[in-house]
């Protein structure tokens, strides 16, 4: 239905960004060394809603993201919808608790429907690809110089998603190895 433009389909989840970088490995020219000094201190937590065609809505805060923040973020998103919309979320407690469940009937009246993925299936939530690309490809070691630099770099990526930063979901395939 989303491919035929009958609905909008968004994938939602949260991620945290801190001065302790998430860099699994890095390459640099011979003789040059990148040095990242891990530090404590959370710069930002972000709740995002992303579509396969690279539309993104984000809501940021310092400190932990809780169910009320997720509900408030979805309320903000719902006010900008252009057509019926399905939001795919995982089964984290903040996505399945009382606050979230209490809002579902009202959202459905607005044309927003929540779809919970099966448990233990983060690979089905496409926004996980976005968070991975932000942390492992688009943020660079120099972006972790201090909290202000990281925050500015993150905001540049979030604001530039869909233009300067994109993901081609048409090229990503899910394989079935069952035979």
For residue 33, count CB atoms less than 10 angstroms from its CB and return exposed for 0-12, middle for 13-18, buried for 19 or more.
exposed
Q: How many domains does the chain have?
A: 1
Structure tokens at 166: 């994109």
pLDDT at 3 over 90: no
* Neighbour tally for 118: CB within 10 Å: 8
Q: What's the pLDDT score for residue 178?
A: 41
How far apart (Å, rounded) are the C-alpha atoms in residues 111 and 55? 18
pLDDT at 25 over 70: no
Q: Is the pTM for the entire model greater than 0.75?
A: yes
- Please check whether residue 156 lies inside any domain of the structure: yes
Structure tokens at 55: 């539309």
Local confidence band at 173 (pLDDT 50, 70, 90 cut-offs): very low
How far apart (Å, rounded) are the C-alpha atoms in residues 57 and 161? 10
80-133 pLDDT per residue, tens:
999 999 999 999 999 999 999 999 999 999 999 999 999 888 889 999 999 999
User: What CATH number did the domain enclosing 137 receive?
Assistant: 3.30.420.10
Report which of residues 54 and 42 the model is more confident about: 54
- Please check whether residue 177 lies inside any domain of the structure: no
> Closest by alpha carbon to 37, among 48, 23, 50, 49?
23
> CB of 65 within 8 A of CB of 95?
no
For residue 7, count CB atoms less than 10 angstroms from its CB and return exposed for 0-12, middle for 13-18, buried for 19 or more.
middle
* Neighbour tally for 66: CB within 10 Å: 16
**Is the C-alpha dihedral spanning 95, 70, 145, 39 positive or negative?**
negative
Domain assignment of residue 57, given as a range: 8-160
What angle, 0 to 180 degrees and rounded to 10, lies between the N-to-C axes of helices 67-78 and 98-110? Answer: 10
- Please check whether residue 136 lies inside any domain of the structure: yes
Structure tokens at 59: 């809501």
């Amino acid at each position: 239905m989303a491919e035929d433009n009958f609905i909008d389909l968004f994938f939602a989840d949260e991620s945290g960004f801190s001065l302790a970088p998430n860099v699994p490995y890095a390459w640099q020219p011979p003789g040059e060394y990148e040095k990242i000094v891990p530090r404590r201190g959370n710069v930002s937590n972000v709740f995002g809603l992303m579509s396969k065609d690279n539309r993104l809505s984000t809501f940021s805060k310092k400190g932990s993201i809780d169910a009320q923040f997720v509900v408030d973020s979805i309320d903000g998103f719902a006010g900008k919808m252009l057509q019926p919309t399905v939001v795919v979320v995982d089964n984290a407690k903040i996505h399945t608790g009382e606050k979230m469940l209490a809002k579902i009937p009202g959202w459905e009246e607005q044309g927003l429907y929540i779809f919970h993925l099966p448990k233990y299936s983060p690979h089905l939530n496409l926004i996980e690809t976005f968070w991975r690309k932000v942390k492992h490809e688009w943020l660079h070691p120099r972006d972790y110089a201090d909290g202000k630099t990281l925050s500015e770099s993150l905001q540049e990526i979030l604001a530039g998603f869909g233009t300067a930063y994109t993901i081609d979901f048409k090229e990503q395939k899910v394989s079935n190895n069952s035979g």
